Structures are given as structure tokens and as C-alpha cells.
Chains A and B, each alone.
Chain A
Amino acid sequence: MKNIIRSLIYDIFKSKMYLRVCLYLLLANIIIVIFMVKDNIGQDGESALLLADSPTTFTVFSVILMGIIVGKIVSGDFNDRVISYEISSGHSRLTLYLARGTLAVAFGTVVALIMGFVPIVICIFYGWGNTLDLGDVIARYMLCAFPFIRISAFMVCASFVIKNYYASLLSGLIINEVFSILYNTVDNTANYSMGMYNIKKLMSFAEWHIYNLEPSKGVVNYCSYVTEITPDLVINTILFSLGAAIVYLFVGYIFFRRDDLK
């Protein structure tokens, strides 16, 4: 299994195309976030308001890139029948599945986290402000690693079932589009039932908006956000995410176990 993992890692880093894709997506993320920060910068230069007002903004590129990584690691070898050859050469299906699955989940999560840090870094650069506590936001964001594990496990399961390289590559984009519609149409999307909903719950802050009537300025708006992390938020996020990830990976395996790989 270690050799399989090593070869997969080598394959990823050797591929200049994928490195370029990652780089371009990172650049696109940076540029878009810079424009969004400039549009959303609050009074007194508080750019953290972007994160407060758009809790799922930073996941867009994270999930897209996660889909590309998982697709490359899992589905890339179905088309050229590498997996069939590996089975023929004596590797067990479990070994192959675990190698690809764990690498895809680990790599996808790390890449998604790095990508998602971009808005936070840019907001710090432009002036974080006092609206959101930076430490709390970073802690909440680090907790998003668990929903990312869940989402990447789902992508792994879907990749092993669909076995289509291009569909796997696009899975991140599809998930983003579907959930952006659901956020607007479904009530109460900040919960633990889905990985994306869990991320929204982690990055949503209880808020209070008020205004004051100031004779020199007129109506001046103020808002405060509660960023504290509660124990049940942490525990539920970890439990639901890891539990769902294990289920997805298990389902993917029992499908792959008897699959004829055609």
C-alpha cells in the first residue's frame, strides 16, 4: 500500500498540468476575494465583515480543487485500466481502495484547507477589524477540516461508483452549484446533516444589527457577531463528519469489492 501511495503522490507532483490548475485556481481565488473584500469592506476598514456576511464564500474554490484532486487520484486510473493491472499483479482490492481513498481524503482536505485560508489571509492584509475575533474564526475554520474529510470521502465513494474521470473532476463544481441553490431555497441550512451545511454552521455567527441616529451622519449601522466556539459544536462536527466519512468510504468499498471495473 505504501508503494501505491508513493506512486500516486509522484504522479500528482509530476503532472505539471495539475500543478498549473492548482496555481491558477489559487490565483483566481485570491483575485476574486480581493474584489469581494473591497466591495464589502465595512466602516473603519473592517474586511472581516466579508466572512461574516458570506459564510460559505471561501468553500467555493476549496471544494472545486478537492474534486479535481480526488478525481485525479481515484478515477484517473480507471480509464487507462491501471487499477485492473494492479489487481492482476496481486494487490488486493482493499489495499488499492485504502491507498487511493486515504490519499484522496487526506490530500483533498489539506488542499481545501489551504485554499480556504486565502480569504482569511486577505482580510488580515486589508485590516481584520474588531467585528470578528480572529482566533475564534481561525479555530472554526480549522474545524472545517472535518466536514472537508466528509465531503472528500463522499467524492471518493462517488468516484468509485461512477468511474468516470471527467465526472469526478467536475464533482466539486457540481456540489458547489447544488448547494448554492439549496442555501437559497431550503430553510435552516446551518446544521450537521450535510458536510456543506456543517461548514456553514461553523462559519455562521450569531449576529445583532442595529443602527444609531447621529446628527452629523444620519443612520449609521453597527453589527456585532458572536464567534465563541461551544463544546457541542466541536463534538458534533467531529462525530458527524467522521461518522459520515466512514460510512461513505465503506459504501464505496463494498461497491468496488465486487465491481467488474468495466
Chain B
Amino acid sequence: MRLVEIVFIAIELLALIGLLIMAFKEPKYNMSRFRFLYLFPAFIALCFVMCAGFDADYIPLYIGGCVEIIALYSIRLIYKKMLIVCSMILVLVSTTLGIVSPNHNRPRIYDDFKEGFATMKAHYILDKEKGIDWDELYNKYEPDFKNADKNRDVVRSYQLWQAFCKEFYDGHVSYTVDKPDIMLKSFGADYGFSLVRLDDGRFVAINVEGCKNSFSIDEIENDRLEYERVKKDYIPDNLDDIRLTLKNEGIGNGTVITQINGKDITDYYKYLDYYMYQYPDKNNEEFYKPFYVAGLTEDGDGGYSLNLDTDQKDSSIEITYIDDNNQERTVSAPYLGAYAARLIDTFVRLDEGEFVSNLDWKSINDDTVLLRISGMIYDYKTYDGVDFDVVSNQIREEVLAYKEAGVKNIIIDLRANSGGSPYFVQAVAKIFAPKGEHLTYYSAKLNEKTATFERGEDGKYIKGEPSSYQGEDIWHDGKIILLVNAECVSAGDDMVYMMGDYPNVRVMGLTSSNSSCQAVTGIELSNGSLSFSAVPNLDEDGEIVIDTRTDHVGRTPFDEKIPMTLDVVDSIFNRGEDYLDDYVVDRF
């Protein structure tokens, strides 16, 4: 029950008690001028509806409040007292219903699904390109959402939404909640490690509990889920005794893992119903799958899932690994808590870019500097406009200064670039672009009456105005590397798309950029927020730019995949260094 409900029920009961006392005193004192007090319970019921909303469970209370009005008739005192007692009983019945009724304050899970689905069906712009069959999607998820609604299972609802979003293979389709607890229960159990696949095909442990510069459940860095505050609800009682099990068995960052519970790692891919982020590019998806496998737990039906039940505190998994003597051994890894915290930490350590502010520079050596661009945003005044001259002027001045100082190479660090304004991107890109006019995109024409983008007869969106910029080619004799990864998304993808084909630019990363660049919108639902691609960017042929199609092949330039090797693992998870900066410098 909510506090407002408790308060009003208490007031109602107190009012009825007061009326009962008044009724007992009536023979002795003249209470006729206080008759209006018999309206008070009805007034409280009215205020209750105003403030807390109408609830069927409180109908007895509403009736109990209103029947007191009958006492305004000069009925016999005994009947007045009986009425008051009846009203009190009705209020208590309502209170009981409010406590025990399964429908009381039900989270609107099914209603949210219907609203979110209907909105996406009406306004998601890539359904044709992504091969979305709305009817099939609805039939697949509707029963599960109905079930989750019936069971009032908000965790299951979140998981279903994540699975629903995964169907689109669009980095801009996401469902978020502001309840960290729900995410903690949705990404599996922590057995003390995360997992990555090297380029040579081997799977190795990373971010192992107890290893220096790795995630530690004792002292949580990158605590975006407020795990520290609630971890006592997740961790086993004997955590201190078992925390270093893997480390004590010789498993560290880079240890080759061959099997989990007797199965190959790839056998677990089929249990990954959803991810924390979306991977429209299939190569990126393959790269990140092992990360999630490390959190899978047995679901009791012979399969595995990312759902974390609190009764899994006694669980463990059998990890088969290659020890220092090249022998295959198996160890039982005990449950340590919720995997979501370690998973996010792994993403942050691997994918977050250089830790400097947006548009800051860092000197790597005499020949090379790094420009960090973490978001395509300058300030709130410029964000909605097209004029980013302030950005161009700043970058130009700095680039010319470096050029004069003899710097030859620029690394533009776009890792985990969350996007922003495409006009910001143009403002930066034009500094480095070859001279001449460069066309970026066409906007799409909108039906202003319905505020929707409509397709023409050829199935394509109708082209609007073109956007272009004039190249200045200031870095003509120098080289540029764009450092990207799968978390470089939206306007970050724009920059890769625009600059990737310049003659002196190469695009590199452990993974390619996300391949999601249509502009995004979102809606608030009662249990979370849903966002999706809603504003098209078109090329000269009227086709959607950048976003993947049903082939899940990324469409941004990607010249060189940085090998995922033991050196990367050692550098990041043992030594806490940014391996990629050093690697990229040598690639010039």
C-alpha cells in the first residue's frame, strides 16, 4: 500500500471513531449543529479519490464513507451507531483488500507493452530495412508480457523488453529503467570472471576477481548500478572465504577457458535472449557474446538464462581451463553475487576511451597527439542549431598549432562516443576533409499533419534538403586514425561515415562502430523508457544511411580490426593501461 492510502484510511477511521463518540454523547448534549460532520467521511472518501485515484479495492471504503450521509436524516440514535460501525467494518475490509489483493497497485506491464508496441509500429522508421514483421513480433511477445503482468513481475518485464529490443538490431532501440535492482537481477550470476574470445579462437577469462586492476566485489569501481548499496542482498554469507577461489586455483586474466559445466562456450550462445546493449553488426555481436555467457545460470528446466534468482546463492559452475603447465583442469567456481556489476565494469575497462574531457587533446609522443571526442555536443545553446563555428574555430586553431609544432599524426578517439548533433560532426570533419564540397545526408520529408515520415510509392522515404560542408584539408600532409568500437554510436557513427573515406584517414578498433545513426526519440512508460530510431537520414538515392539491414553487416568504414590478444587482456585487466593508444601509435 502507498503512504497516501494509509494516511487516508487512518483519517477515515479516525473520523468514524469521532462520529461514534459524538453519537454516544448525543443524548446528553445538543449535537444538531454538528450534523454536518456526518458528511465528513464522504468528503474524505472524495479527497481519497482525488489524491490517490479510483481503485476498485477501495469501493467498500467509498461506500462506508457515503452511507454516513443517511445519518443526516433524523434516524434513531441506535441506527446511527450501527451505520457508523458498518462503515468502520467496510473501511477495514477495504484495508484488507488493499493489502492482500493481487491487483492492487498493479504495475502496468501489459499496458506498457501495448503502448510501446503501438508507438513503435506507428513511428519506427527502419521496419522495412530491418525486416520487422510486426504481427509476428506481437504474437511472440504478447503472451509473455501478459503473463508477466499477471504475476506482477517487473524483472521479467524488463527482460522481455530487452529481448524485444534485440529483435531490431538497432543501437538506438533500447528500454531503460531507473531501478538498478531490476538490472542486477537480469544479467545473471557472478562467478568471479568475465569472458572474451581472442582472435585466435580461444576463450580467456578477464576481469577476474582478486586480480590487480580488475573488478573487485570488495571495492567496486564503475558502480553504475549502485551495487555497493545493495550487494548484501546478493552476496553469499561466506563471500570472504570463497571470493578468491578462481585466483587461488591459478585462474587469472588471460587464462584459457575451454568449457563451462562440461559444454563448449559457443553452446551457450542460444541462451542469450538479450543483451545490455544492442549490436547491429554481427561481428560485434559475436565479439560480445562471451561476456554475457559468463553470467548465465541454470534455469531449473535444464537450460540457462540471464535471470538471477536470489535462491542461487549456493550455486556454482564447473570451469574447465588450461593451467600454467598446459594441463586441462576443472574448478568449481562459487556464486559471488550479481554479474551485472562485473559486466558493466568489463565494458567500461575495455570500451571506454581516453579518460579526458570532450575535445581535449593528449600528447602521445613528439609526432602524435590524441583528440578525445566522447560526444557530439558542445553546449546547450548550440545543440539544436546548425552553427558550430565555435567548434570549428577551436579545433582549427589547435590543429594548426600542432601542425606548426611538427606533429604529424592525430588519433581521434571515438570510443564510447554516445553521439549528439550531426552538425557538430560536420564542424569537426570539415577541418580534415579534402577541399571541395562534401555531401553528407538528405533529411526526409515529414507529413506535418500527422508528424510522421511517410514512404513514397517506391517504399523509400521522400528526400528533403541535402546537408553538405566545405572541406579545408588542413591536415593534408598528416595522418589520422579514428579509434572506434561498438559503443561509438549515432553521431559517432556519422563521424566514422563522413571521415572514414578521406585519403589520409584510417578507422581502427577492437570492434567496428555500432552502425546506428538515425535520429532517435523516446516515450515514457509507467515502468521504464523506450527509445527508438524515428528520424531518417538518407543518401542521394533516398536509402537509409549507415544502419544495418537484415544481413547485420555494418555500413561504416572499418579499415583495421585491432587484434584481441593476450597482450590486450594483460594491458587492460592486469596493468590498467590503455593498450589501444600504444597499439595505434605504431600503426601510423
Contact = CB atoms under 8 A, between A and B. Distances in A.
Interface of A: 130, 161-162, 178-179, 182, 185-188, 191, 193-194, 197, 208-219, 222-224, 251, 254-255, 257-260, 262
Contacts of A259: 35
B53 A187 contact: yes
A259 B74 CA distance: 10
A188 B384 CA distance: 31
A211 B386 contact: no
B18 interface: no
Contacts of A191: 53-54
26 contacts: A130-B449, A178-B50, A186-B51, A186-B53, A191-B53, A193-B49, A193-B50, A193-B53, A208-B123, A210-B451, A210-B534, A210-B535, A212-B443, A212-B446, A213-B422, A213-B467, A215-B386, A216-B465, A218-B385, A222-B451, A224-B449, A251-B42, A251-B69, A255-B35, A255-B36, A255-B39
B566 to A, nearest CB: 44
B455 to A, nearest CB: 15
Given A161-B36, A224-B449, A251-B39, A215 B53 contact: no
The binding surface of chain A is classed by DSSP as mixed
A210 B453 CA distance: 10
A212 B464 contact: yes
A130 B33 CA distance: 57
A193 B53 CA distance: 8
Given A179-B50, A215-B467, A258-B73, 6 more contacts: A211-B519, A212-B444, A212-B464, A213-B519, A213-B535, A254-B73
B72 interface: yes
B467 A224 contact: no
A258 B32 CA distance: 9
A17 to B, nearest CB: 29
Interface of B is mostly: mixed
Contacts of A262: 33
Given A130-B449, A161-B36, A259-B35, A214 B464 contact: yes
A222 B468 CA distance: 24
Given A215-B466, A216-B386, A217-B386, A210 B35 contact: no
Contact of A222 (B51, B122, B444, B448): B448
Contact of B35 (A212, A217, A258): A258
Contacts of B230: none
Contacts of A255: 35-36, 39, 72
A254 B53 contact: no
A9 to B, nearest CB: 29
B72 A258 contact: yes
A251 B534 CA distance: 53
A106 B158 CA distance: 52
A214 to B, nearest CB: 5
B245 interface: no
A182 B51 contact: yes
A67 B236 CA distance: 64
Contact of B443 (A213, A254, A258): A213
A191 B49 CA distance: 11
Contact of B384 (A179, A193, A219, A258): A219
